[in-house]
Every structure is written in structure tokens, then in C-alpha cells.
Amino acid sequence: MESGSAYDWLSDYLEHLRVERGLAHNSLQAYGHDLREFSAYLEREGADIASANVETVASFLGTLGARQIGKRSQARYLSAIRGLYRFLRAQRYIPSDPTELLERPRNQGSLPLVLTRADVERLLCAPDVNDLVGLRDTAMLYTMYASGLRVSELVNLEVDQLSRADGLVKVTGKGGKQRLVPIGDSACALVERYLVGVRAAWANANERALFVTARGTRMTRQAFWKLVRRYALAAGIMKPLSPHKLRHSFATHLLEGGADLRAVQEMLGHSDISTTQIYTHVMSDHLKSVHERYHPRG
């Protein structure tokens, strides 16, 4: 089959649903509506259905939440997108399904799920730092939690973007925007150990990525997602966990410690502070619990 535009693929899929799955007219219309919205979003982002990755799909779902579209409807959008990608994978249009690791949007509230500080501590201690893979994984987990990077920003970091003397990383975020983010002494020390003890032995000669696999190549987003989930289970963390929830935890824990919202916005790379303000709702719950616990009339 020849590959065409995103809308060609969409037409093929809708025809598949009509002929082979026997979907009713109203159902086909609903699928078509949701998938055309997704395709239009990809076009605005300079992507297409073939090049989209798990973060692209997650970002699209995030725009639905920003438009006050309910969790049940978000789940319907994801179901339509997931069905499309499964069809494209079966037809060998694409090598992998970017929706494979996405969780179904949950109805109970719209605030981001965050880890407790104890959860984070257990997660960071889960890898064995005396093992080469474990040392690399610990360095990655520390760096992500210490900086609040997106998973794509973490795996795309290059060695020359790290300033060990200053404890900073230069990050290229969405839209090619660059920002400097501190990563702290603990993460810096672990990255230093990883560079000397692991990367020096593993990295291919021309590989510029900071974090590499045992094959000497750049770590992928999907591999890091699986890595986080594996260590979460090892740490006894039963709540659903993804790299993005580490980013949520980074922001929430900073605000709980008294950080300024504008500073958190800068570190997260949000172009609009309204995106960061969701964490003030998390903070409200935290402050209420503190008040109830410590105030004599709480």
C-alpha cells in the first residue's frame, strides 16, 4: 500500500470501520470528527500521523483538558486515536504504536497525579548504582526529578549541554526554545559518575547524546517510559507512573517548598503561566491539609 497524507490514511481507516467492523453511521461520524481534530492538531504542530510520538498524543489530550473537555470525552478521543494507530500498524504504515504506553484519562478530577516525597525517594533508590545499567538509570531519574524536564528533553540532552561546574543544563524545548535549568548537586554528582564509569565505555565514537544505551546509542522515549515503570514496581509504587508524573512531582514539590510560580514556569519551559497555574490547585490542597493538621481551629 502506498503511503499518503494523514487524511488519506484516515479515509482508509474509516472505510475499514464501515466495511469490516460494520460501524453505524453515527459512530463513523464521531470517529471521523475526533480523528480530524487530531490530524489538524498535528498539522499545527508541524507533525503528521506517521511521525507523532507518545508525547505528541499526550499533548493533544492535554489541549482537550485545557478546553474543559471532560475525561469521558478525552477517553473517547484516545480510543479513536488508538484504533487508528493499531490499524496503521497492522497495515505496516508505521513501525510502532505511539499510544501503546498511554493511560486512559481518568474521570476522578483533572489535577495531575504527583508522587509523595517518600515515593520519589524509593524510586530514586530502586536502581543498583553498583551496576552499569543501574548507575545510568539512577543518573537519568535524578536528572529528571531535579530538573522537571520533559522526557523528550531528557533523552535529547547532549554532553555539551551540561555545565557540570555550574550545575546547569541547556535544554531545547518546544518550538526550539532554549532555557537553562539547574539540576542540583546530587544529580550532578551521579551524572559525573555515569560519564566516567558508564558512558565512556558504552558511547559510540560519534554519539553526542548524554544518556546512551549499552549499544552506544541514544536512549529512546519509549525505553525510558518502560524503565520508569519497572523501577516504580520495584519500589512498591502502585499508583500509575510515567515520566511526566515525575515532572508534575518536581513542580509540586518546588511550590510546596516555597518556590515562586514564575521561577517554576521558567524551569518547566511553559510559554504561558496559565499552564503552570494548575499546580497552584495542588498547592491549595496541600495548604489546606497543613492548616487542618496544625491550626488549633483546623
CATH class of domain segment(s) 117-292: mainly alpha
* Domains in the chain: boundaries: 6-90, 117-292
pLDDT at 141: 97
> Which helix (H) or strand (E) element contains residue 180?
strand 178-182
> 48-52, 53-57, 65-69, 152-156: lowest mean pLDDT where?
65-69
Residue in the block written with cell 501503546: 100
Active site residue 150: yes
Across 35-39, 46-50, 189-193, the highest mean pLDDT is recorded for 189-193
Does 26 have pLDDT greater than 90? Answer: no
Does 120 have pLDDT greater than 90? Answer: yes
Find all residues with CB under 8 Å of 59, minimum gap 6, and list them: 45
- Residue among 122, 174, 193, 208 flagged as catalytic: 174
User: If one looks up domain 6-90 in CATH, what number appears?
Assistant: 1.10.150.130
Active site residue 218: no
Active site residue 25: no
Does 12 have pLDDT greater than 50? Answer: yes
pLDDT at 1: 40
Does 204 have pLDDT greater than 60? Answer: yes
pLDDT at 232: 93
Q: Is the dihedral of CA 157, 159, 160, 161 positive or negative?
A: positive
Quick one: average pLDDT of 122-129? 96
* pLDDT tier, 283 (very low <50, low <70, confident <90, very high otherwise): low
Q: 155 or 288: which carries more pLDDT confidence?
A: 155
Task: Look up residue 290 and give its amino acid.
Answer: V
- Residue among 136, 221, 247, 248 flagged as catalytic: 247
Active site residue 244: yes
Q: Per residue, what are the HEC states of 105-153?
A: CCCCCCCCCCCCHHHHHHHHHCCCCCCHHHHHHHHHHHHHHHHCCCHHH
pLDDT at 124: 96
Does 278 have pLDDT greater than 50? Answer: yes
Active site residue 71: no
- Residue among 150, 199, 248, 253 flagged as catalytic: 150
3-state secondary structure of 202: helix
Does 88 have pLDDT greater than 80? Answer: yes
Active site residue 294: no
* pLDDT tier, 54 (very low <50, low <70, confident <90, very high otherwise): confident
* Percent of the chain surpassing pLDDT 90: 35
Find all residues with CB under 8 Å of 24, minimum gap 6, and list them: none
pLDDT at 111: 52
Average model confidence (pLDDT) for the chain?
83
Does 55 have pLDDT greater than 90? Answer: no
Q: Where are the alpha helices (DSSP H) in the chain?
A: 6-19, 25-44, 54-66, 71-90, 117-125, 132-147, 151-155, 184-194, 200-202, 221-234, 243-256, 261-268, 273-276, 278-294
pTM (global) more than 0.75 = no
The CA distance from 239 to 118, in Å, is 13
Q: 103 or 248: which carries more pLDDT confidence?
A: 248
Quick one: average pLDDT of 36-42? 90
- Residue among 244, 245, 248, 253 flagged as catalytic: 244
